[in-house]
Amino acid sequence: MKNSSKSMTVAGIMSGTSADGIDVALVRISPPRPFGTSPRDVPRLRLLGHVALAYPAAVRKRVLQAMNAPEISVAELSQLHWRLGQLYADAVERALKKYPMRLDLIGCHGQTIYHQGTARRYLGGSVACTWQMGEASVLAARLGVSVVSDFRPADLAVGGQGAPLVPLLDYVAFHHAKRNRVLQNLGGIGNLTVIPANAAPEDVFAFDTGPANMVIDAIMTECFQKKYDARGATGERGRVLDSVVKECLELSFFQLSPPKSAGREEFGREFSARFLAQCRKHSHRDEDAVATATALTASSIGLAWKRYVHPKLVNAPTDYIVAGGGANNLTLMKMIHAELSPTGKISQHTSDDFGMPSSAKEAMAFALLAYQTWHGLPGNLPRATGAQRPAILGKITYA
């Protein structure tokens, strides 16, 4: 254990599957008092500042092409890995310019280029794998601060899916003695964390619900040359093609019980192209495809809610708290509300309502996970990832 009684200022860096850019959260993390004697003694977090930087257009394009690419040169993968390390260092410098402070540690998630959470046969063995890019040595050298990176492999190595890893933050920041708390992230993929009232960390479970913005973004790019559906205005004008949604929900991913995780491998280029083709069989209006993609996200959340979430909630009021860029898509937020409200009274919020900006939450999670690793403490929640045991996540690059 290192400096276990001291508070630390930690920068968390997150780049999600949307490949929209880099979020940096500057977080003051203080140890529980007394330090870690009960699993319910969790660190305390205070957000000191955060910045969001879009990837330069050429970088975003290459990142999207590299993800799940059937073909890319090894030289280019290596170059991209190092260039992302530089961009992460730029992003932290930008954050420190806006919020001057001395950092003690950096936690960098990196950019997922490939994620396969369940094992498949490969070369005579059985392999699950994950790969996040962004060379941590560049960050450590430029900032003069030690870096924890590469968080997912340690969970995979003990039988987990390597995702989701945000649930520890969700527990630390949102657990409540008298209220059920369900945290919904709407990034490229949708992730959901369930914290029943008065839960201990081991009662928390989480899983991916399917695409959140990924298919909407792909259709907006293909049909409207826009990166996303700003505030859900295009989806709002469209008509939902119910038969397409219904058919999609039959897919094995939606029928799987948790724990489960998804990425561009399931809902990327190929899926979106098939989805758009299906929509176009029923309607020639591209707004309808956007509305239908939005409805797919909402319906997949509704399905997960009815099957896996609602039955596990204890008899207490429930807060459903949304974070991630999709919180800005008002059409999506309305559709989700319509899906959840038939199961009872649920208060729907964004994490901003709790003082946590919805674009900062995941970056804060990686600050917390870095802090855990630095102190030799685990960061995964086995019920969330399916791991056999808690694991200390990540690799440390010393400054």
Ligand X SMILES: Nc1ncnc2c1ncn2[C@@H]1O[C@H](COP(=O)(O)OP(=O)(O)O)[C@@H](O)[C@H]1O
| 16 vs 363: CA distance, rounded Å | 10
CB of 186 to Mg ion, least distance (A): 11
Partner in contact with 17, chosen from Mg ion, ligand X, none, beta carbon below 5 to 8 Å by kind: ligand X
Using CB under 6 A as the binding criterion, the count of chain residues that bind ligand X stands at 19
Determine contact, residues 362/16, Cβ cutoff 8 Å.
Answer: yes
54 binds ligand X (CB under 6 A): no
Site string for Mg ion, 15-44 (x = CB under 5 A): -x-x-x------------------------
155 is written with which tokens? 């969970």
Q: Which of 85, 235, 263, 326 binds ligand X (CB under 6 A)?
A: 326
What phi and psi, each to the nearest 5 degrees, are found at residue 105?
A: -165, 155
217 binds Mg ion (CB under 5 A): no
217 binds ligand X (CB under 6 A): yes
Q: Output 324 or 382, the one with its CB closest to ligand X.
A: 324
Partner in contact with 302, chosen from Mg ion, ligand X, none, beta carbon below 5 to 8 Å by kind: none
- Report the site for ligand X in 6-25 (rule: CB under 6 A): 16-18, 20
Piece in contact with Mg ion (CB under 5 A), picked from 12-20, 60-68, 236-244, 273-281: 12-20
Site string for ligand X, 177-196 (x = CB under 6 A): ----------xx--------
Q: Output 140 or 206, the one with its CB closest to ligand X.
A: 206
Interacting residues with ligand X (CB under 6 A): 16-18, 20, 187-188, 213, 217, 228-232, 324-326, 328-329, 362
Interacting residues with Mg ion (CB under 5 A): 16, 18, 20
